[in-house]
Amino acid sequence: MVDFEKLLREQREKKSMAKVSMTDFFSDKEFLNARDVKKETIVLTILSAESVKLNRNQLVLRFKETPKSFGLGKKDLKYMIQKYGSETEAWEGKKITLQKEASTTPQGAPTVTFHVQQE
């Protein structure tokens, strides 16, 4: 179970954090990538949610249908809390739909990413 208030408090207490890329810790083989999925949407069943500390804490979802994980951004995290509540244990067994969306990399290059489809 993830204590969001504690994570936010820890984040505020840290004055400076080293910039770290997710790819420094995880390979593309471990995370869902929009390039790996041919369909525009994919429905997955949540097995668990866990906090991963990168340059900030990020919540990572693990699924029944694939060994690959999905890191929730702020928009997706807010939606998940609104829909399923702030206790991540309540999310287990819930189905979510990931939808492809056009985006840009931090360097400005076009790319395709996944976001939780909001109903």
Rg (CA), the chain: 15
Is the entire prediction scored with pTM above 0.95? no
Q: How far is 76 from 99, CA to CA, in rounded Å?
A: 11
Give the list of residues 6+ apart from residue 103 with CB closer than 8 angstroms, or none.
Answer: 110, 111, 112, 113
- Tell me the β-bridge partners of 111: 103
Express as a percent the part of the chain with pLDDT over 90: 40
What are 119's two structure tokens? 């109903």
Give the list of residues 6+ apart from residue 115 with CB closer than 8 angstroms, or none.
Answer: 73, 75, 76, 98, 99, 101
pLDDT tens per residue, range 8-63: 566 656 544 444 444 444 455 688 888 888 899 999 999 999 988 766 778 999 99
The pLDDT of residue 25 is 46
The pLDDT of residue 6 is 64
Q: How far is 96 from 42, CA to CA, in rounded Å?
A: 8
Domains of the chain in sequence order: 4-12+27-116 (2.40.50)
